[in-house]
Structure 1
Amino acid sequence: MSGGVTRRRVLGAIGVTGAATAVGVPWLSGIGGASSTGVQLRSETTLPEPYTQALRRPTQLAPTRSDATTDYYEVTQRVARVRILPGLDTTVWAYQGSFPGPTIRSRRGRTTVVRHRNELPVPTVVHLHGGRTPAQHDGYPVDLIMPADGSLPHPHGDHVGDVRHGERDYIYPMDQRAATLWYHDHRMDFTGPAVWRGLAGFHLHTDEEEQRLPLPTGDRDLPLLLADRAFTADGSLAYPSLDPTLLTTPGVRGDHVAGVLGDVVLVNGVPWPQAEVPGARHRLRLLNGANARRFRVALHPAPPGGGGLVQIGTDQGLLAAPVPHDAIELAPGQRFDVVVDFARYPAGTLVELVNEFGDGRTEQVMRFKVGERVDDPTSIPEVLSEVAPLRAADAVVTRTMRFGAGNVVNSVGDHVSGWKINGLGFSPDAVHAAPKLGTVEVWQLVSDLHHPVHLHLAPFQVLRRGNGGPGPYDLGWKDTVDLRPAELVEIAARFDGYPGRYVFHCHNLEHEDMAMMGNMVVS
């Protein structure tokens, strides 16, 4: 495993700072901060026509056993061949051999234990994104699961955490509100290429409050993982790793340090799929699982009267009340739960879910073919949940976190370039914040480019953007916020649950891998 020294030497060769001082195309794929920070790869093979393949629902993982308090699951991480593009097989790294990985469901009041077995050729780490999790089970970036075949020696050095060989049990108390969560690889230096190769899946958590609501369920509750990828001529996943083995040298080639974008939009691993839906309400759990691409999703055509995307939830669960939108912006790592009433369309209508931040074929996401109206006992209540607001006055401290590109000093004293927070590139030894358990803090987040900021452990609420209040997509309890170029966002975070060392970072995965991550030690 490589440590921070190797990563920073690589960043020095790439020269992040020089590019960041001249932000523009190709670093920003859009203009005016409206799109994504990153550079798009071009596929080398023939791509399918949109809407010619059926949407697939991720498989649901059954527990291997259950007792009075706990459900136990087993997941194997392995190399698999899957069919993504017609006529070609693609090698992926997958949970249970599928991309996305299988969906795990949990219920508040019951502990979830997931045993992960690593049959991949590299170390891995698993993070339950959005989980309220004890530190030793949160997926700290150097708490590795080494390959089960013993092909790699035990890692040594300053940046070695709690290392297990072959298998590891992750224990999740799940003492938290119902929410659309997800799990993915989180190894230091290599999160971006590991997720790109397939290591991601849904974890859907429920509670009694959500169960009492007359929201769509069953076949009308659709988890949708949005992502982008690019492909080589033989159907392999294209990714600009400096080291394709993902064992030694971290980082990506050239301008891709800004972020890696693909030219194929996948929904649940299917390129531009179509779903046949009856004329009834459906719950769409939208997850931006892309490395760097931001989406602005909208329905085309919009239903009569507009407001076709009725938001009922965000990263950390239900909103206080539903909010209708004509479009919703999702940064990497974010989740939005919306209800779409397809009965507002005549039977036979073809309704596209489009990406208004896209260009060319990345403007298309998926299509719904609306069927006949059916009996629909569901509704959207005017009151969904109680969301007690956090206030700046509740905070015991205010911190400023500046996200940007610039010089750092590695452990041998070399001045190199990388992504940083408050002038520091990531090291397991560097502490950015030391919150007290049970307190509220205000963090002022300041950016140079697009940086979707994710806090582990601590749910938060957005207090303001710039001189205004929260934006239209900032409501409710969140764990990831879309920080746009040259912007200040103020959040109030609640540090409760568990003590220990956690991280916060940019969820542009190339930024994260290249040091834009910090430690917070909760005590």
Structure 2
Amino acid sequence: MANLNRRDALKLGALASGSLLLPISCQSRSYAKDAGSPQVRPFTQQLRIPPVLSPVRSDDTTDYYEVTMRRATVEILPGLKTEIWGYNGIAPGPTIKQRRDRQSVVRFINNSVGTPTSVHLHGMASLPQYDGYAEDFTNPGQYKDYIYPNNRPATLWYHDHALHNTARNVYMGLAGLYLVYDDLELGLPLPKNEYDVPLVIQDKQFSSRGSLIFDDQGEKSQMGDVILVNGVPWPNMKVANRKYRFRILNGSASRSYNLSLSTSEPFTIIGTDAGLVGAPVQVSNFRIGMAERYEVIIDFSKYKVGTKIVVHNDHPDNNIEYDGTDRIMQFEVVRTESDPSSIPPNLRDYQPIAESLAVRTREFRYERSNGLWVINGKTWDIQRFDANPQLGDVEIWRIFNNSGGWFHPIHIHLIDMQLLDRDGKPPFAYERGWKDVFYVGENESLRVIGRFGPNTGAYMSHCHNTVHEDHDMMNQFMVGTGGPDPITTAPAQPLPAPPL
């Protein structure tokens, strides 16, 4: 397929959207108890774990993977068929597991979804040309090889990042987990293998025939009335009476969650977006915005076989509440096992960045203005850079949300940062770690601090309510001078692709 310019790519994306997603005007909607989706009895389907992707080959330094973006027809709601767009035809996509500092090359092939894509490995310090820049399109009939350094042990995720189409593309299924391990983490006595479980939480809306409905309510938010975990509506997970580690990703377009257990027992937080925290923290509940990741330990040893524990959602402000969105999933204790795992008092060396190291403070205001989602009064402009930190600079960014009508989870590409304060008060205990997404609540201001690197070049920052991002709450910053061009340095290539 010939290369498409930006305008043609966006037109093609709009056509793909119209061909797959039923227009809301054709659906029967009820805002009192649900959004019109077929009813599903919670906790009747078992949790599924996304498969781990094997490399097609490996050498001394690098593992090579191939992933194809495909339309597929799957059963999400019992007895109904749903079309998704999935990596390798599944949603969530296959999980990639890598060791720290071992390079990976991942070939993403776009040959059936019918819309331009761009893959962002969220949380990776990728070079600009491999970061999923919003206008670095892989058009239908093309592929692109992304090179990742795997220099951060953490729970990451890969997802679509195409300009003005991210919300719809991810909502249709283009998202998957990417886990990086290091020797330090593997040497800790934390739960491992089948007791280390990923949980991708999403909300969806369906027609009576099972088709996904994407309704952004006038470019504001997409709120579904069916909660999926790993693609299963309100699943049940059978567990042993021992400790489990859960890697929780909020993969929703616009919904945030406040999670707790029906038994009122605590979660033990051991990790944030960018990996393990310095020391474990026990909390009775925690808030998780879109694209945030938290790693928690739940100890089921105190429960008798037969006990059922529900993960509840106490809706944060400015989320549409439906009858079923106050619960996420259920754990069912079904067997007794010995437990060799434990939670050490110290997990990883964590040193706060001293404010005195900051060479400057910048301010960014995330607002709604004249029907547009803006940052400092401006929308996305590929020609404009709103910050130019030099390589190695430490900066403080003050992030404002001046409205009581919405919240913004703000994602800053390339670097991990630390939250200094929220409205002048200390962060929540579970937020005290390295992060790349910051929940800016209603009428809040946050200060975050970070060191810019290890790469130079152009990177994006945006709201991760992907509806806001698409319309056009995104800007970019330039680290240092020069750096690889994110579009022209490693452009997508036409199919067929040569062997990896």
TM-score by shorter chain over 0.5: yes
- CA RMSD, aligned part only? 1.8
Corresponding position of 1:227 = 202
C-alpha separation in 2, matches of 1:478 and 1:200: 19
In the alignment, is residue 317 of structure 1 matched against residue 275 of structure 2?
yes
Which range moves more in the overlay, 473-482 or 503-512? 473-482
Q: Residue 40 and residue 514 in structure 1: after superposition, are their counterparts in 2 closer, same or farther (change >3 A)?
A: farther
Post-superposition offset of 1:2: 5.4
Q: Residue 388 and residue 280 in structure 1: after superposition, are their counterparts in 2 closer, same or farther (change >3 A)?
A: same
Q: Residue 57 and residue 442 in structure 1: after superposition, are their counterparts in 2 closer, same or farther (change >3 A)?
A: same
1:441 to 372, 395, 420: 395
1:466 to 416, 423, 437: 423
Which range moves more in the overlay, 355-364 or 51-60? 355-364
How do 1:401-440 and structure 2 match up within 5 A?
401-407=364-370, 417-440=371-394
Which range moves more in the overlay, 180-189 or 338-347? 338-347
Corresponding position of 1:147 = 140
How do 1:116-265 and structure 2 match up within 5 A?
116-119=108-111, 120-148=113-141, 166-176=142-152, 178-240=153-215, 252=216, 255-265=217-227
Corresponding position of 2:329 = 366
C-alpha separation in 1, matches of 2:322 and 2:419: 30
Corresponding position of 2:410 = 453
Equivalent AA in structure 2 for residue 173 of structure 1: P
Corresponding position of 1:51 = 43
Superposed CA deviations along residues 401-424 of structure 1, whole A, max 9, x for unmatched, are 0000114xxxxxxxxx31000111
C-alpha separation in 2, matches of 1:504 and 1:473: 23
The answer on whether the counterparts of 1:74 and 1:114 sit within 8 Å (CA) in structure 2 is yes
Q: Residue 56 and residue 40 in structure 1: after superposition, are their counterparts in 2 closer, same or farther (change >3 A)?
A: farther
C-alpha separation in 1, matches of 2:62 and 2:306: 45
Structure 1 alignment gaps of length 5 or more = 11-38, 149-165, 241-251, 408-416
Equivalent AA in structure 2 for residue 492 of structure 1: I
C-alpha separation in 2, matches of 1:371 and 1:51: 15
Corresponding position of 1:249 = none
For the residue of structure 1 that corresponds to 2:219, the secondary structure is helix
The answer on whether the counterparts of 1:396 and 1:440 sit within 8 Å (CA) in structure 2 is yes
In the alignment, is residue 61 of structure 1 matched against residue 53 of structure 2?
yes
Which range moves more in the overlay, 464-473 or 322-331? 464-473
Post-superposition offset of 1:394: 1.1
C-alpha separation in 1, matches of 2:449 and 2:79: 50
Equivalent pairs, count: 448
Equivalent AA in structure 2 for residue 494 of structure 1: R
Equivalent AA in structure 2 for residue 274 of structure 1: N
Corresponding position of 2:91 = 99
Corresponding position of 2:21 = none
Post-superposition offset of 1:472: 2.9
C-alpha separation in 2, matches of 1:102 and 1:503: 26
Corresponding position of 1:286 = 248
Post-superposition offset of 1:435: 1.0
In the alignment, is residue 87 of structure 1 matched against residue 79 of structure 2?
yes
How do 1:267-346 and structure 2 match up within 5 A?
267-302=229-264, 306-307=265-266, 309-346=267-304
Corresponding position of 1:385 = 348
Post-superposition offset of 1:104: 0.4
Post-superposition offset of 1:334: 0.1
For the residue of structure 2 that corresponds to 1:194, the secondary structure is helix
How do 1:69-80 and structure 2 match up within 5 A?
69-80=61-72
Post-superposition offset of 1:359: 4.4
The answer on whether the counterparts of 1:42 and 1:230 sit within 8 Å (CA) in structure 2 is no
The answer on whether the counterparts of 2:400 and 2:443 sit within 8 Å (CA) in structure 1 is yes
Superposed CA deviations along residues 41-76 of structure 1, whole A, max 9, x for unmatched, are 954442210000000000110000000000000000
The answer on whether the counterparts of 1:43 and 1:238 sit within 8 Å (CA) in structure 2 is no
C-alpha separation in 2, matches of 1:501 and 1:326: 40
Post-superposition offset of 1:372: 3.0
**Structure-1-length-normalised TM-score:** 0.83
Superposed CA deviations along residues 73-111 of structure 1, whole A, max 9, x for unmatched, are 000001101110000110000000101000001111200
C-alpha separation in 2, matches of 1:42 and 1:428: 39
In the alignment, is residue 511 of structure 1 matched against residue 468 of structure 2?
yes
Equivalent AA in structure 2 for residue 220 of structure 1: Y
Corresponding position of 2:357 = 394
For the residue of structure 1 that corresponds to 2:430, the secondary structure is coil
Equivalent AA in structure 1 for residue 424 of structure 2: N
Superposed CA deviations along residues 160-193 of structure 1, whole A, max 9, x for unmatched, are xxxxxx11000001122x1100000000001000
**Structure-2-length-normalised TM-score:** 0.87
Corresponding position of 1:17 = none
Post-superposition offset of 1:272: 0.2
Structure 2 alignment gaps of length 5 or more = 15-30, 316-320, 481-500
The answer on whether the counterparts of 1:41 and 1:262 sit within 8 Å (CA) in structure 2 is no
C-alpha separation in 2, matches of 1:290 and 1:463: 26
Q: Residue 45 and residue 483 in structure 1: after superposition, are their counterparts in 2 closer, same or farther (change >3 A)?
A: closer
C-alpha separation in 1, matches of 2:7 and 2:291: 25
The answer on whether the counterparts of 2:33 and 2:323 sit within 8 Å (CA) in structure 1 is no
1:478 to 435, 456, 478: 435
C-alpha separation in 2, matches of 1:2 and 1:50: 43
